Amino acid sequence: MARVRRRKGRWGQYFVHASVVLIVLIWTIPTIGILVTSFRHKDAIAVSGWWTALTTSQQNFIAHSADPSTQVQENGKYVIKGNVLTANESGVVAFGTKIMKPKEFKAGETAPLPDGGSLTINRDGSYQMVSDTSFAADSSRRLYYTASQPPTFTLVNYSHVLTAAGVGQSFINSLTVAVPATVIPILIAAYAAYALSWMRFPGRGLLLAVVVGLLVVPLQMSLIPLLKLYNNVGEFFGVPAKTYLGIWLAHTGFGLPLAIYLLRNYIGTLPNEIMESARVDGATDFEIFVRIVLPLSVPALASFAIFQFLWVWNDLLVAIVFLGQQDNQLVLTGRLRALLGSRGGDWEILTTSAFVSIVVPLIVFFSLQRYLVRGLLAGSVKGG
């Protein structure tokens, strides 16, 4: 029986490991696709998927024959010569005279032209059009061919995004919004979490229920009432609208319920003996909070800091409502959205902008990720 249990235990571990690997692949593969696409040429993105960029692939192309004025006579024939390959193409595999049949003839073969004459496209891209009569002045035609294209990448997309007007100012604006909007709710939530965990006062249970209830309030429903309230208070005190203070307070309000909930779950599991010993030694609640609770709560604080910073950094809706869309106020997400144009069809800009915008969040995440699991799971086991 023990052997059977061990065997079942091993199969359970294999299943868990396989599930983790599958989840990682599901999240990683699209990210890799976006990264590869951000380094590709715009024309290549339009005709093939990102997975074809890693190996030599065959793609269909369209070229135009040389101007008929360049034709020459050879052996009594009229000949137009040229080359269809570009710098990113390594060799012609097949060609055709019709758009529906770009692979009708192999490279080096001679194909009859619909209006008379013949066409030959060689593997090196050189071609010649031959006719018994002179080519008309308007007889330039499209040449359809299939060519091998080796992996080619470019930094043009990143150069375009990083050198666009206003990107640097928008980057600074995003930092100006994200850093205080992360620190302020952490400070307030830490005080509130300690009070809800270790201080006894009337209505504590009701207050905690209200905090949990606020977690389900949709952000979009509270934007307009909150903006009206802020404008009324600002008008009363003479504070101008669309300021950083307004967006800091907005992000603080939206982030506090989750912050208080997470931090309370963690702070509530701290050993009671430490708190009682501090009180016996004459420490006040403020001294206990500053000298004991805060140092022990670093994992939980770092965990929420990751979530809050990522949410604020990637936010666009709250920034537009409370900060505006002026050039000196636009955050990075708004600036990158403007680069896409009205249709948003510039995939090379979209993918490049995605990676430009996640540089700072990645730095924050990898700097604090060792605290993430500890902070989220610490509340699941009650301290002794």
The percent of the chain in helix, strand and coil, each rounded to the nearest 5, is 60, 15, 30
Q: What is the pLDDT of residues 168-191, one digit of tens each?
A: 889 999 999 999 999 999 999 999
Lowest model confidence (mean pLDDT) among 169-178, 345-354, 357-366: 345-354
Which stretch of DSSP H or E encloses residue 77? strand 77-83
Above pLDDT 70, what percent of the chain? Answer: 90
As a whole number of angstroms, the distance between CA 313 and CA 308 comes to: 8
Q: What is the pLDDT of residues 283-323, one digit of tens each?
A: 888 899 989 998 888 888 988 898 899 999 999 888 988 88
pTM, rounded to two decimals: 0.71
Q: Which residue has the higher pLDDT, 49 or 252?
A: 252
Q: What is the pLDDT of residues 40-79, one digit of tens each?
A: 887 777 767 888 888 887 878 888 888 888 888 888 889 9
Region at 117 (left for phi over 0; alpha for psi -120 to 50; beta for the rest)? left
- List of residues 6+ apart from 119 with CB closer than 8 A: 95, 97, 110, 111, 112, 113, 127, 128, 129, 130, 143
Pairing of β 118-121 and β 110-112:
antiparallel
Q: Is 139 exposed, middle or buried (0-12, 13-18, 19+ CB in 10 A)?
A: middle
Asked whether residue 90 carries a pLDDT value surpassing 60, the answer given is yes
- As a CATH number, domain 159-380 is 1.10.3720.10
Q: What is the pLDDT of residues 186-242, one digit of tens each?
A: 999 999 999 998 888 888 888 888 888 888 888 888 888 888 887 787 776 666 667
Q: What is the pLDDT of residues 19-45, one digit of tens each?
A: 888 988 888 888 888 888 888 887 777
Q: Are 307 and 258 in contact (CB under 8 A)?
A: yes
Nearest Cα neighbor of 379 from 208, 264, 211, 257 is 264
- What is the pLDDT, as a whole number, of residue 9? 64
- What is the pLDDT, as a whole number, of residue 42? 79
Give the number of C-alpha atoms closer than 13 A to the C-alpha of residue 173, restricted to the C-beta side.
26
